[in-house]
């Protein structure tokens, strides 16, 4: 079957500062949360690789932009590394060397015909602010973030017209403070909820600065909702799915798009003593300054069922008291990543957004296929024959375009990632890129088969729907 791609449908790619830059030129005291985690728990990062070198984008960005031009990429989303943008986080003294790097990247992208899209925070909160103010626990950090946002808009807003306040704002505190599975392993559910609230407020405050400053373009946030599927049609299983959706999806969607939290969520926060202290003025800001558009990261579904056992009252509150995971028999798996492959999430998430949030513009800001040991797929020319990635993208694009044809306001698809890059703990174990990066001193680049296929999508605006294949 031949699938046609609408003319104005974005076909881009994404990454982040910390996952590509490396520490070349980084000054003392400019560690981000990810840098500190890597320094404190290097042993959990696969083969010890992490942000220290990453892809060495600081020096290699001209080569990456060259490959973007070769692939005919239309848009590239990355972040400004907040921790590297300043030499003084309180007085907001800009590191001019780093700011010039951002200028050069922006100018290089535009010259290559690639529209830059910038995110202000992709887990790069400065460690200084974590140590002094406990990070997003403090409204002082919101004030400093506001100052950072204003400077970024002023410095780069003449060329950057699409901005994101955060990437996946729920992730850091969920891994670190709700589940306590990442450094610093502090279980504190009330702190988890407070960080969620403060990021929602910071998002609204940044939008306020953008609007009042008269900057051209639009501003939104990148969220990572999970399409939730209940095990069955039973009332109990349906309720489990609704509760997961409430605590992990609507917790950001509702205030950022509709301007207000779900009453059910606030009631549960009071009931389980995890409420946050929101002032009427703050709630008014959230109400008024909603997002212009959304980035939606999609990789895998979430399957849940009603819990089988009563919650241990001595265990700190966790939303898991309302649901438990359901392991679907026979599910398609990416054995490298341990994630279910279910391309229908693209259509289902699009319909979820249309039903619950109306005509809000959005795009898939991340989706991709991570595979380990890609060396085994080298062809005779020394290129990675990653037909599995081509099939994965094709299947997901098909279901996304089905939704577009039915009225979903999805503007495009951003592949994760343009090049192989570092991921938390996973490091370079799973490769995601159209462009391969060797782990030598030079971090040498080379295109994979998927790079040429993706170029054909952009140029021809059509593709043949691949047959589903096994990714085991």
Enumerate the active-site residues. Answer: 168, 366
Whether the CB-CB separation of 462 and 2 falls below 8 Å is answered with yes
- Alpha-carbon span 449 to 390, nearest angstrom: 8
Whether the CB-CB separation of 221 and 165 falls below 8 Å is answered with yes
Whether the CB-CB separation of 426 and 432 falls below 8 Å is answered with no
Contacts 24+ apart (CB under 8 A), 309-316: 316/187, 316/188, 316/189
- Alpha-carbon span 64 to 17, nearest angstrom: 13
Choose among 19, 25, 26, 51: nearest CA to 38. Answer: 51
Choose among 238, 263, 262, 239: nearest CA to 249. Answer: 262
How distant is the alpha carbon of residue 183 from its chain centre?
A: 19
- Alpha-carbon span 98 to 118, nearest angstrom: 15
How distant is the alpha carbon of residue 4 from its chain centre?
A: 27
- Alpha-carbon span 68 to 100, nearest angstrom: 21
């Amino acid at each position: 079957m031949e699938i046609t791609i609408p003319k104005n449908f974005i076909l881009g790619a994404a990454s982040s500062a910390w996952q590509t830059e490396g520490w070349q030129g980084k000054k003392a005291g400019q560690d981000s949360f990810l840098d500190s985690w890597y320094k404190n728990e290097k042993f959990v990062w696969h083969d010890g690789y992490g942000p220290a070198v990453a892809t060495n984008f600081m020096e290699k960005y001209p080569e990456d932009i060259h490959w973007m031009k070769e692939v005919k990429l239309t848009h590239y989303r990355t972040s400004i590394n907040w921790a590297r943008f300043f030499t003084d986080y309180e007085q907001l003294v800009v590191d001019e060397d780093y700011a010039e790097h951002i200028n050069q990247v922006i100018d290089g992208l535009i010259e290559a015909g690639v529209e830059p899209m910038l995110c202000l925070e992709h887990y790069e909160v400065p460690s200084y602010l974590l140590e002094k103010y406990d990070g997003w626990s403090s409204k002082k950090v919101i004030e400093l973030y506001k100052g950072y946002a204003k400077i970024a808009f002023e410095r780069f807003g003449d060329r950057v017209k699409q901005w994101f306040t955060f990437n996946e704002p729920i992730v850091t505190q969920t891994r670190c403070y709700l589940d306590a599975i990442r450094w610093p392993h502090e279980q504190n559910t009330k702190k988890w909820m407070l960080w969620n609230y403060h990021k929602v407020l910071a998002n609204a405050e940044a939008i306020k600065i953008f609007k009042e400053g008269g900057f051209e373009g639009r501003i939104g946030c990148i969220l990572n909702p999970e399409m939730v599927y209940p095990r069955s049609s039973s009332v109990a299983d349906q309720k489990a799915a609704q509760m997961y959706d409430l605590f992990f999806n609507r917790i950001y969607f509702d205030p950022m798009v509709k301007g207000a939290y779900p009453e059910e969520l606030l009631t549960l926060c009071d009931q389980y003593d995890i409420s946050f202290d929101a002032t009427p003025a703050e709630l008014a800001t959230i109400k008024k300054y909603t997002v212009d558009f959304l980035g939606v990261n999609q990789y895998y579904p979430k399957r849940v069922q009603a819990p089988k056992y009563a919650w241990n009252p001595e265990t700190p509150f966790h939303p898991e008291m309302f649901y438990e995971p359901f392991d679907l028999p026979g599910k398609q798996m990416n054995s490298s990543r341990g994630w279910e492959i279910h391309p229908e999430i693209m259509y289902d998430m699009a319909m979820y957004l249309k039903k619950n949030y109306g005509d809000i513009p959005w795009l898939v800001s991340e989706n991709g296929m991570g595979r380990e040991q890609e060396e085994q797929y080298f062809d005779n020319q020394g290129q990675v024959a990653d037909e599995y990635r081509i099939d994965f993208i094709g299947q997901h694009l098909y279901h996304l375009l089905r939704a577009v044809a039915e009225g979903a306001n999805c503007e495009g698809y951003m592949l994760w990632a343009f090049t192989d890059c570092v991921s938390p703990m996973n490091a370079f174990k799973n490769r995601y890129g159209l462009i391969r990066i060797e782990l030598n001193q030079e971090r040498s680049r080379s295109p994979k088969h998927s790079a040429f296929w993706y170029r054909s999508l952009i140029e021809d605006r059509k593709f043949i729907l691949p047959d589903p294949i096994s990714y085991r």
